[in-house]
Structure 1
Amino acid sequence: MYLLRLSPLHLLSFFALLLQAVLGADPLYHFCSNSKNYTSKSTYETNLNKVMKSLINTVPSKGFGVASAGKDPDEVYGLGLCRGDVSSTDCKSCLTDADPELRSRCPNDKEAIIWYDYCELKYSYDDFFGKIDTKYIFYMWNTQNVSDPATFNYKVKELLNQVATEAYQSKKFYATGELVIDSSEKLYGLAQCTRDLSSAYCKECLDNAISDLPNCCDGKRGGRVVGGSCNIRYELYSFVNS
C-alpha cells in the first residue's frame, strides 16, 4: 500500500485524490492552479486545443515534447513526458487519456498538470520551458518499513545518486539501475527529467528530489518524489519494462 503527502496548501486536492482512488481512477495525482480561468470557446481554449493535439501527436515518437500556440494574453505552453522505458504506443495512449482527464478535473483552469505511471502532461499561460518546476510536487511511499532503516536509506541514496548522474548526463535525461542489498533482495531505482531543462538544471532538480526523500520515505520499502520537472523512484521490485 502507498501513501501520498502534500503541503497544507494542497490538502483539499488530496481529499479529491482519495475519492479518485475509490472510484478506481488511473492518475497518480494532479494539480489545478486555481489562479486564472479561461472561458469556454475562447481564444485561450482554442490555443489549448492546438497545444494538446500537437503534444499527443509529437511526443510519443521521442518520449518528450513541448508546444506553444497563440499570443499573449492567450498564449498556451504545454509539455508532455513519457517514462523512458514506455513504448510509443503506450505513450500516446497515456497522453490521449491524460488530456480530457486533466481538463475534466481542472475545468477552465489556465494552468494544470497531471501524472500517470507512464506519462506526465502539463500546460500553462506562463512560459515555463527550461525552468525547474518547484511549484508542483508530491510524494508517495510504501507503508511497510524495512528492518534496518539506516543501512537501507544509505543504499537507496547510493543507488539514486548513481542513476541521477546517469540521467542528467544522458540524452534522454532518464536512467534506471539496481543494487544488490543482500543475497535475497535487490533495490531498483529510476531518475528522469523533462528535456526542456539544461543538464545542470536536471542535476539540480534530481539532487533536490533525493534530498527530499528523508522527509517522506525514511526506512520505507518504496518511495517516489514526483515533480513537474523531474522525478525519482525506488522499489524492492522491478517496475520498468525490460
Structure 2
Amino acid sequence: MYSSSSVSKRFVLVPIVVVVTTQLLLVRNVSSLNLTNSYLHHKCVVNQGKYKPGSKYEKSLDDIIQSFSNKDKDSYGFRTGYSMKAYGKEPDMVSITYQCRIDSRGPKCQSCVVTAGYELLRKRCPRYKEAIIWYDQCLVEFSSLDTSGQINYDDNFCMPSAKNLIGNSISLEERLHLLNNLTKIAVTKIDKNIEGIKKPVLYAAGEKRLGTKSLYGMVQCSADLSVQGCNECMLYYIVHFQECWENKQGVRVLSRSCNFRYELYPFINPKGPYYTKF
C-alpha cells in the first residue's frame, strides 16, 4: 500500500539515481497490487448440519477439493474465474462454488481456490456440510444445496478501515457515485474471456480524482447472478452496511453474491481488465 505525496521544493537536491530507483519501485508496486492473497474471513453454516466421517458426502468433497490441484480438471473454470458444480444425489449431494476476482483469472485463481478449499475443509470448518471462505482473490463455498442464481442475504461481513474520514474530504455522495458508476459498467461490459456467449462481466474497478485526492473502487457480483440480481445485490449491501463504512476512509463489504471496496489508495493494478479512470 502506498499513497502519493506532494513534491518538495528540495526535490531537485535528490540524486538522480535515487529518483530513478524510487520510480522503479513505484512501478513494481503498481504491477504487483493484485498479488496479495490474504485470508479475510470464513463462516461455518450450521443450518445444513454436519456430515459423518467416511460418508459419501465426505468422499465427494475430498475428491472435488483434490481435483482443483489438477489444472486440466477445471481449466475453463479457472480461466473464466467461476465454477459451480454439483456432485452426487440428495442427501449426499455436494455443491461447490468458487469465484475469483476478474484480475486473478488463470493460475492465480487456481492457486487461491486450492488454498482456500483446503483451509476451509481441513482447518476452519471440518465436517460442516455448508461453509464459505473469503480470500483477497477468491471465495470458495460448499453446500448440500444448489442455490445458484439466488442472492445470498445471510453470509456476509464488513471490514472498515481503522481510519475515519476527516471533515467532508470525501463525501458520502462521492463514494456512492463511484460505486454506482462501477456497478453500471459491471452489468453492461461484455466478458471477453467467455467464448460464444455475450455475458456481462459483473466486475469493474476504477478511480476518480476528487480535488487533491483520488478515490479507488471495485465491485463484483457472482457470475451466476443476472444483471437485475447484481444490481439488487449491490444496492442491498451498500445500504445494509452503510453505518459500517459511511465515516471511514475505506471499506470491504463481502458476501457470497456480491462485494465492493473503496479506498483512498490504489489496491488494484490500473492496467488490469475493466479498469476505468473517471
What is the aligned counterpart of 1:138 among 138, 157, 181?
Answer: 157
State the secondary structure of the residue aligned to 1:77: strand
TM-score, normalised relative to structure 1: 0.84
Whether 1:28 aligns to 2:40 is: yes
When residues 53 and 174 of structure 1 are mapped into structure 2, their CA distance, relative to the original with a 3 A threshold, is: farther
Report how far residue 39 of structure 1 moved.
1.2
Unaligned runs of 5+ in 1: 1-24
Distance in 2, matches of 1:163 and 1:86, equals 18
1:74 to 92, 105, 114: 92
Alignment RMSD: 1.8
Equivalent residue number for residue 31 of structure 2: none
Q: Which amino acid aligns with 1:172?
A: V
Are the equivalent residues in 2 in contact too, given 1:33–1:111 (CA < 8 A)? yes
Stretch deviating more after TM superposition (200-209 or 169-178): 169-178
Q: Tell me the TM-score normalised to structure 2 length.
A: 0.74
Distance 1:77 1:117 in 2: 22
Inter-partner Cα distance in structure 2 for 1:54 and 1:233 = 31
Q: Which has the larger radius of gyration?
A: 2
- Relative to its length, the structure with more helix (as a share) is 1
| Counterpart code for 1:79 | T
2:62 to 49, 58, 61: 49
Letter matched to residue 210 of structure 2: I
Instruction: Name the SS of the counterpart of 1:172 in structure 2.
Output: coil
1:43-86 deviations in Å (ceiling 9; x for gaps): 01122234434566423111111111000110011111111111
Of all paired residues, the percent bearing the same amino acid is 36
- Alignment partner, residue 228 of structure 1: 256
Per the alignment, residue 19 of structure 2 pairs with none
Contact 1:149 1:219 survives alignment (8 Å)? no
C-alpha offsets along residues 14-49 of structure 1, whole Å, 9 cap, x if unaligned? xxxxxxxxxxx9410000012300012210112223
The 1:126–1:72 alpha-carbon spacing in structure 2 relative to 1, beyond 3 Å, is: same
Residues 47 and 70, structure 1, Cα contact 8 Å, conserved in 2: yes
**Cα distance, 1:168 vs structure 2:** 2.2
Cross-structure match for 2:186: 167
Alignment of 1:231-242 (within 5 A): 231-241=259-269, 242=271
Partner of 1:214: 242
Tell me if structure 2 keeps the 8 A contact 1:60–1:91. Answer: yes
Q: How many angstroms does 1:161 deviate by?
A: 0.5
- CA deviation vs aligned residue, 1:102-134 (integer Å, no higher than 9, x gap): 012101000000000110000100111111011
